């Protein structure tokens, strides 16, 4: 399958401002950072979690416990899809019992990754509350899941995809809208 870039939806400047806003919104809703922890979903959600956590630290001058979660092993499509994603090392080095967790991912689409992440978190303990922060919400939910903090809502059609690029892995900070090109080489 080939993809063609349709538009650059978020530039690096936009992304910087969006992360600052998300950090402020998280602190506002939690009325500070007491019991706040941040957990990012691999791969790009983990980098976004680190950035948001650092920003909150700047705002509140307090370190926020930050962890990283691989939800692959909890996915519901392992048996049906012919896909085998790489499993990464989950690293949550603190107790999540009674904590207010902000779960961070790059794109919210069907909601199945988030469902898997929620199941995974429940095996780590019993948090007080879990909120969801995403950089992009592209619609097309298949499960009753919604984000509490959204960087940008981007309505898309099914043939389109949202590609988030982050400096930590991709050499640039931006978000592209791409679409499938039919007749591309297999």
By the criterion CB under 8 A, which residues form the site for other proteins?
70, 73-74, 78-79, 81-91, 119-120, 123-125
- Closest by CA to 109, choosing from 143, 85, 72, is 143
- How near is the Cβ of 47 to other proteins at its closest, in Å? 17
The continuous run of DSSP H or E covering 19 comes out as helix 12-29
Q: Are 142 and 129 in contact (CB under 8 A)?
A: no
28 is written with which tokens?
Answer: 């506002």
- How near is the Cβ of 57 to other proteins at its closest, in Å? 25
Distance CA(20)–CA(27), nearest Å, equals 11
Q: Are 127 and 99 in contact (CB under 8 A)?
A: yes
- How near is the Cβ of 44 to other proteins at its closest, in Å? 13
Q: Where are the alpha helices (DSSP H) in 30-166?
A: 44-60, 112-122
- How near is the Cβ of 2 to other proteins at its closest, in Å? 16
Q: Which is nearer to other proteins, 31 or 83 (CB)?
A: 83
Q: Which is nearer to other proteins, 125 or 148 (CB)?
A: 125
Q: Which is nearer to other proteins, 30 or 90 (CB)?
A: 90
Q: Which is nearer to other proteins, 4 or 86 (CB)?
A: 86
């Amino acid at each position: 399958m080939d993809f063609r870039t349709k538009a650059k939806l978020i530039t690096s400047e936009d992304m910087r401002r969006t992360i600052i806003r998300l950090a402020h919104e998280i602190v506002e809703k939690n009325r500070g950072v007491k019991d706040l922890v941040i957990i990012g979903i691999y791969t790009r959600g983990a980098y976004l979690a680190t950035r948001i956590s650092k920003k909150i630290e700047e705002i509140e001058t307090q370190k926020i416990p930050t962890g990283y979660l691989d939800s692959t092993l909890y996915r519901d499509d392992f048996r049906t899809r012919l896909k085998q994603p790489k499993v990464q090392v989950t690293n949550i080095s603190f107790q999540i019992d009674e904590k207010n967790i902000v779960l961070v991912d790059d794109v919210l689409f069907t909601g199945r990754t988030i469902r898997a992440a929620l199941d995974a978190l429940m095996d780590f303990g019993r948090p007080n509350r879990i909120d969801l922060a995403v950089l992009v919400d592209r619609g097309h939910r298949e499960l009753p899941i919604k984000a509490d903090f959204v960087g940008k809502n981007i309505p898309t059609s099914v043939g389109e995809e949202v590609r988030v690029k982050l400096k930590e892995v991709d050499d640039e900070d931006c978000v592209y809208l791409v679409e499938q090109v039919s007749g591309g080489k297999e």
